Chain A
């Protein structure tokens, strides 16, 4: 067909289709990252679910219920993606990126008392979810849009949730932080958690957004 000026056959890729090969991640590396996503999303929805009963503010209680399901759905998407990446035992890769990440989740879920809504929300919406947005965006922008399109599709849906939930969380925090001591509490807790997160390097470790080595 090529070289025949009378051919009506079309090229396999339209002129506006700029998708290309290869991407930055092979199958094994993608599976590793997806396993880290799943573990962290699970820890997050468990934490949100647990806090619903301990948060006294009704509007926040309801939002946590909705967000709990969002992150459970994300975990489910990643759980289903792992066998497609040749990991038939998804639990094998459902692990934290490193020990610091595990410590971060412990520190983030530490606040229990009813009067600690600010601390609870700061950990989720000012530290963890921004890290999710960063790691997902890095993955989406660096993997192949052809070979890894299913992961990109999931990330796009998930990112929509993450942005919406982050906005909800930030607005809930702004409504709770009304006095100077609230500002100090929020900042102190954020600094404590951020330090552990920096040690972890992000959701998938030091390469969460590419390049950086642990300091």
Chain B
């Protein structure tokens, strides 16, 4: 095969792949600006002849999408901030502080990684019911405030910090907290960014648990609002596309802005400890 043909083939396949990957997303954006019923014409149009903002207006004014957006932001931000703090602390302790039973505890943590979260859901619901957290933001936030995966990720990264740095600080009489805040945290910054994006995306996209624990519309996150709209308004494809855009756009923008950290974290998380 001549190098020129090979080059054409390879780049051709890449373009084809990119089209398949991006087309549904682009069509979603395009259809979201169509007039009601326009997307169900034959043959289906690729873009609107009379673009309109009306679907977005409808979603925010009548379908309560603004509320869902705020809920999603609130829940995802709270989970990200809180779980970041707790995972960092625990991951650092596993990596750099010595205590009896550390290895055994870490094995338990690793074991938790293979248990599907759904096993815990039924009893968790009952527990939260008795704590009064069903149908509240807390019902989604509190169980997600620490994750075995996040702790594991931080631990992997923090192991690379040289012990000498901390020993030197200890000799100078710095407290453990000071060491953590002043010396360790700055060194963990890359993994903090990575973990923050990861957590935010996971929380934003999460569906099953919020579906179970948030029973009232006033607490719905975007995916829940969208799923319930799509059962009632299945015929209104343009409206549903606009809802999908609102749901996907924030995370897509976040990813594009910070993709370097995200992809690095993805690789770090998949390296077996």
The judgment on whether A and B are partners is: no
